[in-house]
Every structure is written in structure tokens, then in C-alpha cells.
Amino acid sequence: MNNYKISIVTIGHEILIGQIVDTNSAWLGEKLTETGLAPYSVISIGDDEDQIVDTLQSLSQTHDMVLMTGGLGPTKDDITVRSIAKFLGVPLVFHEEVYERIVHIFQKLNRRLSESHKTQCFLPEGVEILHNSMGTAPGMLFRKDGFTLISMPGVPYEMKAIFQESVLEKVILPLIHKNIIQKTLLIAGKGETEIEDVLQPVISTLPPNYSVAYLPGLGQVRVRLTAISDQKSDEQSAAFDHYISLFEDILGTSIFGTGDTNLEKVLGQMCLHHQLKIGTVESCTGGNVAARLASVPGASAYFTGGIVAYTNEIKNNIVGVNGQILETYGAVSEQTVVEMVRGGLHILGADIAVAISGIAGPTGGSEEKPVGTIWLAVGNKNHTETKKLNLGKKREQNILLSTQAALNLLRLFILRYY
């Protein structure tokens, strides 16, 4: 798409020795790719002045840009900053505006500044400061003979904030002289291939400056539409919105959200909006559906609780599943999950209950009900819906996929009846 040579350099001994996994570079790689720029390489090096200077000197010969993370901040010594100054051949000078910002942040938090925060304000001469809305260590931008160096802290949420608030708009997009419009639709209940197939009629009509990416996850797919053009215009925005609305028409209720969210957050918002209380009755998922619901701050406003009915005794004694039904149809059956929903509604004080029973594996299957057979049900006092999944042999994956399917079934039920 273009020939800009950009690499990502992450600094930190803890990455090299495998103490932490470098997720920053994966995130930056994805963000660059979204703009149509592919990173040429990702290089992780130690907190070592010679190595940092050598790496920068070598990359600056062949690259247009290096995005660097790590080695900044009050708890690190100033190796990265010193190395950059050495590479640029400039002295470290005190940056008053950086210090004032730190003082301001600490006054608001009512905390005392330490000496190390002052040290942090000695930065290479001529640096352009990139505002850090999430912490005290600023990002930095340097330009030297057509080579651009961006240095960001290694703390992921600080790095992401600086990248999104400053680097993308101010540096990367102007560099490639492009305007990007992008939207990500989150889909549950449909596989990647199925989504590709149903979208094909629209995709075949997309202009050449549009691209579609399918990013599959466990039990969900992110569909990202990107339009890259030379300049911003209202026409382009309108055209983009038009294509998104065509996608939305086709994918309908399979879309559970846009951008960065997840099913449990979306469910939470729906429950709050409709003033609904929900409860869970789980067998094979063993508490994972409840744990996902409870992970959302404020979940106690709509999640009443759940039963992990791992044994038939608990299904029978606590949830009230008829013993005859368990005996006749078995614990993994449509009849049982329907009874689990009815029992759950009765005892959990919930408006809607979801139930899951299945054979997570790796053993415990039969010819009639192989490992991976999962029954789901969701219902309120008037309606009940069920769904059967035929999954694979991997326990962990079966638990995660059933959990995701249960949350999605809850979502579709609320959409339909409220």
C-alpha cells in the first residue's frame, strides 16, 4: 500500500528474560496495520545504553520511523532518555512544562512529589512532548534527517493513550498523507466464513480504497471496515456510514456492539436499561457465566447470583429439577436445561435465567452424547428458548465457547422480548 519502513522497538530486560510477554508491540502492530502501514520488524532489547544507541543508529539508516516503548517513568532509571540524547547528539535539558504538568497532577491527587519526578523532566533538547493523559512520563517525538523517533512509556495503558491521542493523528496520518475512517462491528453466534459469505454481495461493491478485516476470537468475530482516502470529506463519511448500515442490515442482531466492548458489558447496559435482574444456573461451565457477569463494575445492580449445579443432587435439591426428568433424559438434555431455567427463576429472584449443561470433556461422552454436546436455555416467566451446541473435545475451549454462547443467548432473548 506504501513503502514506509517502520519498526517497533520495545525496551526492557523483563521482556528478554520472558518475565513479561510483550503485548505492546502486538497492539502497536495492529494499530499500524489498521492505517495501512505494516511494521517491518519488532525488536526487543535490554535496558542498555550501548544497545539502545546501536539499535537506533542502525535503524535510522534504513527506516522512516521507529516506535519505541519502555524504559521511561519515575521507577526506571533514565537509560532510555540518556541513550536517545546520545543518539541525537544533544544534551539533556530541564523541561519546565513537563514539570508543571506533574506538579499539577500531584496537587490534584494530593500526593507529594519525589526527587525522581524532577529527574524525569530532564529530556533531550529539541524534543517534542507528547501528552500522557494516564501518567507522568510524557511521550517524545524526535525528527532527524528524515527519520522520526517516537518514544513512549512501557506501561500499556499509558502507551495506548499517547499513541491514540497524539501519535496517530499528529504523526502517523500526516506522514502517510491519509485520512482513515474505520469501524469495528462485534459479532456473536456466527463464524468467520458465514459472515464472509453473507457480506460478500456488499463487499463486492466496495470502492478500492475500502478494506474489510475479519478478526476471529473465541465465540466472536470482529469485522472491521476501513476506508483510506487522501482527505477528509463529508461525502466520504456519508459513504462510509452507508456501507456500515448495509453491513448492519445484513448482520442484524448478530452484532452485539462496536469498538472495544464485550458481551457482559453489553448485557449489563441492557439489563440496566430495561431494569432486568438476571441469574445463572450452570453445570459444565462451572461458574464461568456468573464470573463473566460479575466482572463488570456495578454488576450487583442486575446480577442476582447463580447456582453451579455440578451434581444431579444439586440440580434436584437446590434448583428443583425433577428427578424423573434427570433420570429419563439425563443431565445433558433440553428438558433438563429448561427445568434449570424454571428453577433458577424461582429461587434466584431474577427476571431472566440462563442455564447450561453439557459434556466439557476430555472424557465423559457417549455415542449418543459425545464430548462437546452442550445444551443451553434462557427464559423468563412467559418464554423459554433453547439451543444445542456440538463442540469439540477440548475442555477449556468447550467451557469458554459455551459461556460465550450463554451470554449471547441472554442478549438475544432480551432483544426479542423487551
Q: Does the protein bind its own copies through residue 81 (CB under 8 A)?
A: no
Q: By the 8 A CB rule, do 150 and 169 touch? A: no
Between 201 and 362, whose beta carbon lies closer to its own copies? 362
Q: Does the protein bind its own copies through residue 320 (CB under 8 A)?
A: no
Cβ burial, residue 133 (10 Å; 0-12/13-18/19+): exposed
Only segment of 66-74, 171-179, 301-309, 321-329 that touches its own copies (CB under 8 A): 301-309
For the beta carbon of residue 408, count every other beta carbon within 10 angstroms. Answer: 24
Between 151 and 357, whose beta carbon lies closer to its own copies? 357
Selected binder of its own copies within 3, 19, 61, 75 (CB under 8 A): 19
Between 7 and 254, whose beta carbon lies closer to its own copies? 7
Q: Does the protein bind its own copies through residue 36 (CB under 8 A)?
A: no
Only segment of 66-74, 102-110, 123-131, 289-297 that touches its own copies (CB under 8 A): 289-297
Q: Does the protein bind its own copies through residue 261 (CB under 8 A)?
A: no
Q: Pick from 155, 8, 20, 109: which is nearest to 68 by CA?
A: 8
- Chain centroid to Cα 172, Å, comes to 22
Query: In whole angstroms, how close is the CB of 14 to its own copies at the nearest point?
Result: 9
Query: In whole angstroms, how close is the CB of 214 to its own copies at the nearest point?
Result: 11
Query: In whole angstroms, how close is the CB of 343 to its own copies at the nearest point?
Result: 11
Where do the H-state alpha helices sit in 178-287?
A: 192-203, 234-251, 263-274
Q: Does the protein bind its own copies through residue 289 (CB under 8 A)?
A: yes
Q: What are phi and psi of 286, to 5 degrees?
A: 55, 25
Q: Does the protein bind its own copies through residue 304 (CB under 8 A)?
A: yes
Q: Does the protein bind its own copies through residue 152 (CB under 8 A)?
A: no
Whole-number Å distance between alpha carbons of 243 and 386: 34
352-358 and 278-282 beta bridge pairing: parallel
Q: Does the protein bind its own copies through residue 280 (CB under 8 A)?
A: yes
Whole-number Å distance between alpha carbons of 404 and 201: 29
Only segment of 125-133, 175-183, 294-302, 385-393 that touches its own copies (CB under 8 A): 294-302
Q: Does the protein bind its own copies through residue 327 (CB under 8 A)?
A: no
The residue assigned the cell 436455555 is 377
Angle between helix 79-88 and helix 49-62 axes, rounded to 10 deg: 40
Question: Computed over its alpha carbons, how large is the radius of gyration of the chain?
Answer: 27
C-alpha cell at 209: 480504497
Query: In whole angstroms, how close is the CB of 231 to its own copies at the nearest point?
Result: 26
Only segment of 94-102, 148-156, 172-180, 359-367 that touches its own copies (CB under 8 A): 359-367
Q: Does the protein bind its own copies through residue 271 (CB under 8 A)?
A: no
Angle between helix 192-203 and helix 234-251 axes, rounded to 10 deg: 130
- Cα-based distances in Å from 3 to 36, 40, 63: 10, 10, 10
Selected binder of its own copies within 1, 30, 50, 207 (CB under 8 A): 30
Q: How many residues bind its own copies (CB under 8 A)?
A: 71
Q: Pick from 292, 291, 338, 293: which is nearest to 315 by CA?
A: 338
Q: Does the protein bind its own copies through residue 109 (CB under 8 A)?
A: no
Q: Does the protein bind its own copies through residue 134 (CB under 8 A)?
A: no
Q: Does the protein bind its own copies through residue 386 (CB under 8 A)?
A: no
Binding mask 194-223 for its own copies (x = CB under 8 A): ---------------------x--------
Selected binder of its own copies within 120, 132, 148, 288 (CB under 8 A): 288
Between 22 and 158, whose beta carbon lies closer to its own copies? 22
Q: Pick from 118, 117, 143, 119: which is nearest to 130 by CA?
A: 143
Residues 211, 212, 216: CA angle, nearest 5 degrees: 150
